[in-house]
Amino acid sequence: MPPVRKITKENIIEATLELLKEVPMESLNSRTIASYMKCSVQPIFYNFNNMEELKKVAYEKIYKLYQSYMKKGANEDESYKGLGIAYINFARDYPNYFKLIFMNKTDLTPESFIINDSMGNHVIEEGMKLTGFTYEEQKCFHLKVWIFTHGLATLVATKTVKFSEKEVNELLKETVREMVKGRKSEKK
């Protein structure tokens, strides 16, 4: 009798994450994962109470990966720009993960969407260092920057337009610089 292959919780999570690179969360089910792993669904339900639990764990892992990108961006010399570049790079490197986190229906207002992101307050604080705006002014300003950055990231994630890293860097840098100048001239 051949030895029984032990499928661990970690194996299942890894397989789920690999599948989520290619398919949306809504189309993921136990049979898809079992087929990918070349096993029955039994190990999945032995390790997880249900698919919702597995999907929650997978989402948390994906979100931690996103946070690692943002933390790296925050450590750049120009951290406000670094955070924007990190956001776009995450969209480029993991388009389905980006869509899962940032391109799903929500009832949040734009401001709440930004603040609910674990990096939200940090991004605003880093922006304040660049612009010299108060916290409230920066929140309003950052909303506009985020809409622009999210638009770029969405174009990258959906492969609607192909931007080189240099083009993204310049576009983000120039646009934010022009937005700061415009905002400051309005205040005068």
Token representation of residue 159: 């492969």
Q: What is the pLDDT of residue 3?
A: 57
Q: What is the pLDDT of residue 28?
A: 94
Q: What is the pLDDT of residue 105?
A: 82
Token representation of residue 128: 């304040």
- Domain spans of the chain, in order of start: 9-48, 62-187
DSSP 19-51: HHTTS-GGG--HHHHHHHHTS-SHHHHHH-SSH
Q: Which residues of the chain have pLDDT under 70?
A: 1-5, 115-120
Does domain 9-48 sit in CATH 1.10.10? yes
Q: What is the pLDDT of residue 46?
A: 94
Note the helical H segments in 75-134: 79-93, 95-102, 110-116, 120-131
Q: What is the pLDDT of residue 187?
A: 72
